[in-house]
Amino acid sequence: MIIRAAIPSDGPAIQRLLEQLGYPDLSLEDTLRNLGNHQQADYHVLVGEMEGHVAAFIALHCFHLMHWKEKMGRISAFCVEEGFRSKGLGRQVLHAGEEWFRARGCAKIEVTSNARRIRAHQFYLNLGYIEDSRRFVKYLKPPHA
């Protein structure tokens, strides 16, 4: 397995993984634009390749909070392709993301996960994550618009 920084040619694979994650409305153009946005400081996207195939990705962002001394890391998207799940790839990609956060001085990592993703919740709990808050959202525009 290879874990590396995402490049524009990974766009179609990331778009496919975003569809599996539940975001089918993102075009390749949208995905490439978002991938480009993640080239800014404090953003990063990693991919996991198995057998020459991009089978996972993780989108990372670190930032300061008003009420926290150190930086916080946020996993804004993370998906392992269905056929590659439960083979250790997700664990390795997540670990690489955690190392990226650690190298930038983050003291805490947060990840959100849809309530229906029970297996994902167990994955995070098994790797030392805890459930410690609730998330509330208000859409100012219709989602996926």
In a domain, 109, yes or no: yes
What is the residue range of 90's domain?
Answer: 2-126
In a domain, 141, yes or no: no
pLDDT tens track for 79-133:
999 989 888 899 999 999 999 999 999 999 999 888 788 888 888 888 888 888 8
In a domain, 103, yes or no: yes
Domains held by the chain: number: 1
Please state the pTM of the whole predicted model: 0.90
In a domain, 115, yes or no: yes
pLDDT tens track for 20-54:
998 999 999 999 999 999 999 999 999 999 988 99
In a domain, 143, yes or no: no
Q: What is the CATH number of the domain that holds 59?
A: 3.40.630.30
The strands making up 2-5's β-sheet, listed across from edge to edge, are: 2-5, 43-50, 53-64, 71-80, 106-111
